[in-house]
Chains A and B, each alone.
Chain A
Amino acid sequence: MTVESEPLLCVNELRKSFDEVEILKGISLTVEEGDLVSIIGPSGCGKSTFLRCLNFLEIPDAGRIAIAGVTIDCGTPDQPPPVDVKKRAHEMRQHVGMVFQQFNLFPHKTILENLMLAPTVLKRASHDEAEANGLRLLEKVGLADLRDRYPATLSGGQQQRAAIARALAMNPQVMLYDEPTSALDPELVDEVLQVMRDLDAEGMTQIVVTHEIRFARDASDYIVFMEGGHIVEVSDEDEIFENPKDERTRRFLRRFI
């Protein structure tokens, strides 16, 4: 066992409501560096909202999030947050990469330009550095040949791989995936999952909201099962399938196995 260290990501009592309906009812989760965590659960259980709260695309109503040494306290239901959440959120996003279900590549830019935009706009790299780094990442996800193509001319799998490379271009310490393969034709799913497996092998910390139960089972270090705005079960991948502790988990998984 290695030396005990701070967990890379630590969430305490996270709450979020939309129009008086509470979607997240106090979520707490700890993720160690290098972990690949899958979040599964029925539609509407709050798993996507949870993920979007992690990089403040949704501002939580209450709770505390600490990622890579940046801590943002969103207060409690009774007490307003002590710091300007929106301002800190911008700082935190720089450590967090996000991949969307619909890829959201910039259609007016080539694949390489998609990778270069944020690093150059945010003055993280010169044009040449961003280009070199972008090419290296495209090589890694197997898209170096398509560097000058526009997103609309690529298959869904290629677009999602490019989107992963784009997020990596900002050197994030955590990668978040919001149903990354849900919009893909079945035969294109594996190429995206393979990229995520490769990243896991390199030690990238990844949190994936997914319906790919097989991937969750094969690739994750552990699985988080959510329902009704709560984390119902956190479990080793084999255990949750072979011996689910919670009745609700059992019911959900029965449909897949």
Chain B
Amino acid sequence: MTRRGKTLERLVRRIAFLAVISVVSVLHAQEKVLRWAADPDSNAPFAFYGPNDKLTGFEYEIITALAREMGRTPEFVQNDWDGLIPGLGRGLYDVVICGIEITPDKAGEVLFSNPYYVTFEQFVDRRGTVPINSLAQLAGKEIGTLDQTAALAMLESTPGVVAKSYDEEVNAYNDVVNGRLYGVLLDYPIAKYYAAPNPKLQFSGPPFGQITYGIAMTKGNVELQQEINTALERLVASGELRDILSRWGLWTPVIAGALGQPEQPSVPDTEYKAFVASTAPPATLGERLLRFWSYWPLLLRAALLTLEVSILGMALAIAVGFTLAVMRVYGPWPLRWAATLFIEVVRGTPLLIQLLIIFYGLPNIGIKLSPFVAGLLGLGLNYAAYEAENYRAGLMAVPRGQMEAARALGMTHPQGLWHVVIPQSFRLVLPPVTNDFISLLKDSSLVSMVTLIDLTGAYNRIATQTFDYFGTGLLIAAIYLLIGLPFVRLARWTEERLAVDKRRPGQRPGLIKTSRPQVG
């Protein structure tokens, strides 16, 4: 064959290959998906973001394997822990797999698959404490656990125990180390991942109770339940479920007994070891810095989000605040009254509550906002109230004679406002507005409460992955500081630029000591 012929053949082959690929991808697109939800923040070993910021975890592997058996493409939907079950009802996703315990209470709300994991509650206290034998021994002591868990129910039903519920398990265990708590009662997988590697903590007492995790779906979706149960049975029979749990170090006699399989793990616990290694406190400062460095993509994205939400929030605050100020100073009484009411209500209530109402409350009356829009609106409207008061002071500080001069020249009131009064008040309010931006930048940390991964969100994620609260805190604080500095400089520069009317030609900023008029 000639060289030319060979090239042609290669081309034909390539075209055929591309055709197959596109057919496959079309088929792929037509394939059914399985939309599954979890809250991956501080959620090891269930489904969480690993150090390379990719989703991992034993539940992640189970749902991926299940979807494969069901002939579906898994599609992950992130949601806050508190919103997981409500999200099912709103049809945001098909199933939830997030260490949800099958309880009679919850079975009334949702439909559960057969259990994919069976385990127990593990009590953890400070190393060196006398181990307990029963929960009754904890009477009079403060014990931590997570919200909405079987462990919390167990603690609350034990007389005399003061149960304290946390949002993040890491914080609960940390408080045991710090001496703020006597101990923590939580599911065995959590204890194994968050407490066992810590030399300052110990497992104490026997397994308490029995908990079973199930995959939750909407009530009445029996077809899907059947599909999942069939796939799950296949994973059990093929030994794949045992492999997954063994790799994650979660193959215990309890689950072995429940599934009727041998107590020995089928494969080494490589994933568990990798997790422990990745979260072990670094021996040297260099190692610590290197580990933080590995988070740079997350930090960069978080910093950009913080900047974005702050700048857009400030733009909104300026626009709305300015409108409110003009309404308040020059508007007819209904507008004046409305503006005053808005300003007083917003200034009189905490920003955090406003954010929570916008994000979690508004959906109840049919207004669903994305986390970003909710965060932006919350910050922007809150600061608008403060900006309005700044601008009002600025407008009032422009001498009355200025408006009179504009009107005497034949300008209308709005023209006088726009060309004469507002430009002058702008200069007056620039310094307080800049300060407001810098404090907005810091207050933007609250948007992490509406599930946005801004710098504070990144702090939560990195700190709960590395257990290095001090280092992570310093790092994030330094980034806030670095982001804020250019704006401080920018503010000074703008102020100098705007001060030109105090200056004669050729004079440089900063040289003016007095404004004594030249005698002419």
Contact = CB atoms under 8 A, between A and B. Distances in A.
B16 interface: no
A170 interface: yes
Given A100-B401, A148-B505, 10 more contacts: A93-B407, A104-B402, A121-B411, A150-B500, A150-B501, A150-B503, A153-B504, A154-B520, A158-B520, A167-B409
Nearest to A169: B409
B410 A94 contact: yes
A46 interface: no
A155 interface: yes
Interface in B474-520: 500-505, 515, 517-520
Interface string B408-422: 111110010001100
A152 B408 contact: no
Contacts of B501: 107-109, 150-152
Contacts of B517: 152-156
Interface in A108-152: 108-109, 117-118, 121-122, 148-152
Interface in B324-362: none
Interface in A83-108: 90, 93-94, 96-98, 100, 102, 104-108
B405 interface: yes
Contacts of A106: 402, 405, 420, 424
B459 to A, nearest CB: 44
Contacts of B402: 104, 106
Contacts of B503: 150, 153
B405 A121 contact: no
A55 interface: yes
Contact of B502 (A94, A148, A150, A156): A150
A29 interface: no
A57 interface: yes
Contacts of B515: 152
Nearest to B419: A121
A155 B519 contact: yes
B9 interface: no
Contacts of B520: 154-155, 157-158, 188
B471 interface: no
B519 A121 contact: no
Contacts of A102: 399, 401
Contacts of A155: 517-520
A94 to B, nearest CB: 4
Contacts of B407: 57, 93
Contact of B411 (A97, A118, A167): A118
A148 B501 CA distance: 10
Contacts of B504: 149-150, 153
26 contacts: A57-B404, A57-B407, A90-B410, A93-B409, A94-B410, A100-B401, A100-B405, A100-B408, A104-B401, A104-B405, A106-B420, A106-B424, A108-B427, A109-B501, A117-B409, A118-B409, A118-B410, A121-B415, A149-B505, A150-B504, A153-B502, A154-B517, A154-B518, A163-B405, A167-B408, A170-B410
A166 interface: yes
Contacts, number: 87
B339 to A, nearest CB: 24
Nearest to B418: A121
B415 A100 contact: no
B83 interface: no
B423 interface: yes
A121 B415 CA distance: 8
Given A121-B411, A150-B503, A155-B517, A108 B405 contact: no
- Which among A150, A153, A155, A157 has the greatest number of chain B C-beta atoms within 10 A? A153
Interface centre among A94, A97, A152 (most CB of B within 10 A): A152
Interface string B46-63: 000000000000000000
A174 B130 CA distance: 101
A94 B412 CA distance: 11
B129 to A, nearest CB: 72
Nearest to A90: B412
A98 B427 CA distance: 27
A223 to B, nearest CB: 24
Contacts of B420: 106, 117
Please list the 7 inter-chain residue pairs (A to B) with the smallest Cβ-Cβ separation, ordered nearest first: A98-B408, A104-B405, A118-B409, A150-B501, A104-B401, A155-B520, A94-B410
B410 A108 contact: no
Contacts of A94: 410
Contact of A108 (B399, B415, B423, B505): B423
Contacts of A55: 408
A50 B450 CA distance: 63
Contacts of A107: 424, 501
B173 to A, nearest CB: 60
Contacts of A156: 517
Nearest to A156: B517
Interface string A175-210: 000000000000010000000000000000000000
A108 B424 contact: yes
Nearest to A57: B404
Contacts of B401: 100, 102, 104
A154 B504 CA distance: 9
A154 B505 CA distance: 12
A93 to B, nearest CB: 5
